[in-house]
Structure 1
Amino acid sequence: MAANDVLIDTEELAGRLDDDTIAVVEVDEDTDAYAAGHIPGAVMLHWVDDLQSESGRDFVTGDELAELLASHGISDDQTIVLYGGNNNWFAAYAYWLLAYRGVSNVRLLDGGRTKWELEERETTTDVPDPSPGSFAVGEPRPELRVFRDEVIAVAEAGDGSLVDVRSPGEFSGEVMAPPHLPQEQPYVAGHVPGASNIPWSTAANEDGSFKSVDELREIYEGAGIGADDDVIAYCRIGERSSHTWFVLHELLGNDNARNYDGSWTEYGSLVGVPVELGS
């Protein structure tokens, strides 16, 4: 898929803020940044409160997702533009979830909040109050998601392409989580045997935008990940791996790339599965 089908740059979006054919959505792990200032007209989705199921560890159903989007004034004839902090971690997660639920008319803002703010573009604290929209999801795409049993089978067989997109310290087991988070976690340290460590951040420029397709291809092919390989991306909770899934599937055109959203929080808590330490 071409980059202009899945990305929108800040300049284009800045010129289309009054365009009723697009719906701008900020997605993040908290609402503080949104409250302090956001792209004019953008509505806010919290990645847990809005996108996760109320019971059990899973996300909202297709019908619940459609109802959520409609309640924020979004209709299915609009193009949804997603953005957020942390170089679009949670925006990429929302993009992957929407794709999984059969919503196709979606783009990521290249560079997200980081690039928008670096360019000193317009922000507001005004919260929109749109009329309800009309939304229906399309056919689900289960081929975009992988579950733990298949990951365990790949680990035990020693084949397949697993990409651990966490930091080298998390991959080796030296730390349990990103530095700004508590290090005491309910899972063991380490990584899935046979996984390659390609941190998600290698795909991003300093302003949060994605590197060129040629640069991205060099990164992944240099690590032994071919253009058509069966690739499973994972991280700690599934948001950084969504960023890498976006690179592999949407920017590099690997139709066999999938996201393991259970990620290390699930795998590292299982009893009796193989785990490796070290780099």
Structure 2
Amino acid sequence: MRGFIILITLFISSCSLTETTEKTSPYLLNPDEVQDLLSTSKGVKIIELSNYEQYIKGHLNNAYLLERKDYADTTHVLDGMMASKSHIESLLQRMAVQANDTLILYGEQTNVDACRFFWILKCYGHPSVFIMDGGKKAWSEYYPLDTMIKDMPIPGKYKFPTGDNPMSQLAEIEDVLRAVQDEDIQIIDTRSSEEYSGEPFVNKGKVVHWKSGAVINGTIPTAKHIHWTRLQSYEEPFGFKSKKDIIHELEKDGIDPYGEMILFCQSGARSSHTFFALKYILGNNKVKNYDGSWIEWSARYATNPKMIRQISAPAENDRILSKLKQEMVNNNG
């Protein structure tokens, strides 16, 4: 009930803005709205999704920290799979989250990790979750950051609500297999153009054919492509684009914004950002995020050429590889 009241409050607040201001999504908050909630509402907890080094440089006052490893299934054979429901419950218990608490998530300015955890919370059914648009960068333009590490409270007894079917926004590998055979379901690759085409690229200072965790380059058959950054502003603090602009970017690449689709990237993080844009800004309820993404697909089908689509020809890859290596030599010289 508390989360519902906060949603109504935010809606009224957005209506008081000038007529030229567009409220992109009720699930996106600007820094002023976050400050208002923290100052006036009970049961609001704020979580930074980044890493310890970024967190201690400065964070919102009273923000908890979660790193990727905290909400990933570290026992799974594949990297980056989302943790179990009971494990996420234990994370929320450690922060003394109550079932009707409102959670505000933010990360570094692109908010990829915040969107990933948002998606996980919605998969398991927490009702009241928001993203601070523009992340910590947006906040720091108007309000100070804190460097004190928040003490952990007495753990709570949090449990996700039951009765709904929020896992309907999760795509398993079987769903993707069916989509490959169904022209009415769009498969969307949200990685870089090089990852999508199978070209070599530079990652963390090295020339690679694919990112760590995968076992082959390429993409899923029938997949369309849009780089996840296309749906965010090109200007700092890099918040989400408007609904109109998101639709324009999707249609420009032949993607039906309101059609049925499955999103993927390397491990389901970048595609969570695109998922948020499609479901929580555009309102498309026919979109799913493939948690296993390219790490799982490439591991399963590396030896099956019918299930791996490589757009870039081997000869072209050799030319690109030589060029990238020469550029690195020149840059290091």
**Deviation at residue 157 of structure 1 after TM alignment:** 5.1
Please give the alpha-carbon distance, in whole angstroms, between the structure 1 residues aligned to 2:246 and 2:75. 38
Higher RCO, Cα 8 Å, sep 6+: 1
Moved more, 248-257 or 10-19: 10-19
Please give the alpha-carbon distance, in whole angstroms, between the structure 1 residues aligned to 2:64 and 2:260. 35
Q: Report 1:197-216 matches (<5 A).
A: 197-205=225-233, 206=235, 207-216=237-246
Moved more, 13-22 or 200-209: 13-22
Please give the alpha-carbon distance, in whole angstroms, between the structure 1 residues aligned to 2:231 and 2:124. 25
Q: Report 1:165-176 matches (<5 A).
A: 165-175=190-200
For structure 1, the 5+ residue unaligned runs are none
**Deviation at residue 193 of structure 1 after TM alignment:** 1.8
Show the counterpart of 1:91. 114
Moved more, 53-62 or 105-114: 53-62
Show the counterpart of 2:169. 144
2:81 aligned with 1:51: no
Show the counterpart of 2:63. 42
Please give the alpha-carbon distance, in whole angstroms, between the structure 2 residues aligned to 1:81 and 1:67. 18
Which letter maps to 1:275?
A: I
Show the counterpart of 2:27. 6
Please give the alpha-carbon distance, in whole angstroms, between the structure 2 residues aligned to 1:227 and 1:166. 18
Deviations 1:193-241 (A, max 9, x none): 2211111100111222101111111222333333431111101111000
Aligned CA RMSD, in angstroms, stands at 2.3
**Contact 1:76–1:134 (Cα < 8 Å) also in 2:** no
* 3-state SS, counterpart of residue 82 of structure 1: strand
Which letter maps to 1:212?
A: S
2:17 aligned with 1:17: no
If the length of structure 1 is used for normalisation, what is the TM-score?
Answer: 0.89
Please give the alpha-carbon distance, in whole angstroms, between the structure 2 residues aligned to 1:263 and 1:114. 29
Show the counterpart of 2:12. none
Q: Which of 209, 228, 234 does residue 264 from structure 2 map onto?
A: 234
Q: Report 1:102-113 matches (<5 A).
A: 102-113=125-136
Which letter maps to 1:33?
A: Q
Show the counterpart of 2:307. 274
Which letter maps to 1:276?
A: R
Identity of aligned residues (%): 27
Deviations 1:240-262 (A, max 9, x none): 00000111111101101000011
If the length of structure 2 is used for normalisation, what is the TM-score?
Answer: 0.76
**Deviation at residue 65 of structure 1 after TM alignment:** 1.6
Show the counterpart of 2:14. none
Please give the alpha-carbon distance, in whole angstroms, between the structure 1 residues aligned to 2:33 and 2:183. 45
Please give the alpha-carbon distance, in whole angstroms, between the structure 2 residues aligned to 1:223 and 1:252. 17
Please give the alpha-carbon distance, in whole angstroms, between the structure 2 residues aligned to 1:53 and 1:167. 25
Please give the alpha-carbon distance, in whole angstroms, between the structure 2 residues aligned to 1:168 and 1:46. 27
**Contact 2:109–2:134 (Cα < 8 Å) also in 1:** no
